Amino acid sequence: MRILLNDLDKLELSSASARQDIDPNEDLTAIIKVKRREYIPKGVKLRARIHPRMFTGSFAARYLRSLEADKNVLSVALSKPMGLID
């Protein structure tokens, strides 16, 4: 079942994003802000730490709902896929 992105309050969508839903198995990258220092939510792989309460991470889209429900997660800003460079 596809995930409706507009139903997720913590998700920050750019105005350039025309996507309304997403496949749960799709791999995503995002900037994640959390309440607790050094906290990494379940299912998220740390890519780079920006601040003790902010980092980039990768995860399967199926974890979006658990990130939404996680009281330690403040926001999730999905990275926009980049096209190939010729």
Domain of 21? 3-78
In a domain? residue 28: yes
Q: Measured between alpha carbons, how far is 79 from 29 in angstroms, rounded to an integer?
A: 6
pTM: 0.79
In a domain? residue 74: yes
Instruction: For 14-70, write each residue's pLDDT tens digit.
Output: 544 556 778 899 999 999 999 999 999 999 999 999 999 999 999 999 999 999 999
In a domain? residue 42: yes
Question: For the chain, what is the radius of gyration of the CA atoms?
Answer: 13
In a domain? residue 85: no
Number of separate domains in the chain = 1
Q: Which residues lie closer than 8 Å to 40 by C-beta, 6 or more apart?
A: 46, 55, 57
